[in-house]
Amino acid sequence: MDSKVYRVNIRVSEKVKRYFETKSKETTVSQSALMALALDEYIDQKTLIEFTKKVNITDLKKDN
C-alpha cells in the first residue's frame, strides 16, 4: 500500500452513513479510517477474483 494518502470527498447513502457511524462508535476508529479499510479490502477482493478468473481460464485451456 502507498504511504502517501489523499483526502477524497464522497457522497454515500443514509444506510452506508449509519453503518459506519455505528461501527465507528463500536470500535472507536474514525469513520474515515473504516471507509479507507473497506475500500482497500474491496480492491483486494476484486484483484483476487480477477486473478482467479485468469487462472481458471488458463487451467481450462490446458485441460482441452
Q: What is the pLDDT of residues 36-62, one digit of tens each?
A: 999 999 999 999 999 888 887 766 667
Q: What is the value of pTM for the model shown?
A: 0.76
Return the pLDDT at 45: 96
The residues near 64 (Cβ < 8 Å, ≥ 6 apart) are: none
Please report whether residue 48 resides in a domain: yes
Helix (H) or strand (E) holding 4: none
Q: Is residue 9 part of a domain?
A: no
| Domain presence at residue 44 | yes
**33 is in which domain, residue-wise?**
14-63
Asked if residues 19 and 13 have their Cβ atoms less than 8 Å apart, the reply is: no
Question: Over the stretch 13-43, which tens digit does the pLDDT of each residue have?
Answer: 999 999 999 999 999 999 999 999 999 999 9
- Pair 61, 54: CB distance under 8 Å: no
What's the DSSP call for residue 19?
A: H
SS3 62: helix
